[in-house]
Amino acid sequence: MAPLAVLILGLGIIGGYFYVAQQQTKRGMTESQQSAIKKVTSKQHASKSSAVKPSDMGESRERSSQSTAGSQDYVVDVAKLLRERSGAVFTRQGVNAPTRIELQADPQTANYRLTIQYQHADAVTMKATIRNVATKTIKVFSADAAGQTRTVKCNTEIKVGSFTDEGSHSQTAANMIGDKFYLFYNAHGTVSLVTPNYAGNVETKANTAIMNEYAQASAAE
């Protein structure tokens, strides 16, 4: 009986050893898998964070204009915009403000030009430069809803330069030199242009900072 007992005891010890070793192996594999999953999840999160976002998503209508350093989520592809058409035209109904603004690439330089048309005045053409800036949250009067405001986010800034010719121009047009316009992708899938509110038709002083949205015109316009 004694040899049999020793044999059973030995088998029990060996079995216990293999059980412990097996559990350690399983635990090691689980930790490796968890580490791999964490790495994949981290990469996916980073990829989502860098994706381009739409600019016009019904943001709060009462947020004030502000800049967020380092963010470039709302850049408009100007080269693509102008490649699809000879020029991008933006329109808005109004009396004391431009009714039609066309953005074109300047064939003589690496910059751009803006042709600005008022309802009862000759069009003027002005030089322009475009650059991407930190995200700006801007409150605008919507192009398709009179008197309605909303906030949009922009990264693409247009700076109005001097006239392209040496002729005489109105003081109204001359006052635009140095002004900043902005481009953004709207909820309709097209591009909108944002300008200062040149009409000045606001009820309170607090509304003078609200800018105007110009809608992108169809190819036929």
Q: What's the pLDDT tens digit per position in 186-196?
A: 999 999 999 99
Higher pLDDT, 172 or 49: 172
The least confident of 14-28, 125-139, 191-205 is 14-28
Answer whether residue 87 shows pLDDT above 80.
yes
Examine the domain organization and report whether 74 and 12 are in the same domain.
no
Examine the domain organization and report whether 80 and 125 are in the same domain.
yes
Examine the domain organization and report whether 122 and 182 are in the same domain.
yes
Segment 138-167 shows an average pLDDT of 92
- The pLDDT-based confidence of 146 (bands split at 50, 70, 90) is confident
Higher pLDDT, 199 or 90: 90
Higher pLDDT, 39 or 157: 157
The pLDDT score that the predictor gives to residue 38 is 54
Answer whether residue 124 shows pLDDT above 60.
yes
Segment 153-177 shows an average pLDDT of 92
Domain for residue 59, yes or no? no
- The pLDDT-based confidence of 62 (bands split at 50, 70, 90) is very low
Q: What is the mean pLDDT of the chain?
A: 78
Examine the domain organization and report whether 44 and 127 are in the same domain.
no
> What domain range includes position 110?
66-216
- The pLDDT-based confidence of 14 (bands split at 50, 70, 90) is low
- CB neighbours of 183 closer than 8 A, spacing ≥ 6? 76, 78, 81, 154, 156, 158, 191, 192, 193, 194
- CB neighbours of 124 closer than 8 A, spacing ≥ 6? 115, 116, 163, 169, 170, 173
Examine the domain organization and report whether 45 and 74 are in the same domain.
no
Segment 171-193 shows an average pLDDT of 95
The pLDDT score that the predictor gives to residue 3 is 58
Segment 159-165 shows an average pLDDT of 95
Examine the domain organization and report whether 142 and 192 are in the same domain.
yes
Examine the domain organization and report whether 37 and 126 are in the same domain.
no
Examine the domain organization and report whether 102 and 42 are in the same domain.
no
Q: What's the pLDDT tens digit per position in 19-61?
A: 545 555 445 544 555 555 455 445 444 444 444 466 765 443 3
Domain count, the chain: 2
Examine the domain organization and report whether 34 and 118 are in the same domain.
no
Examine the domain organization and report whether 16 and 96 are in the same domain.
no
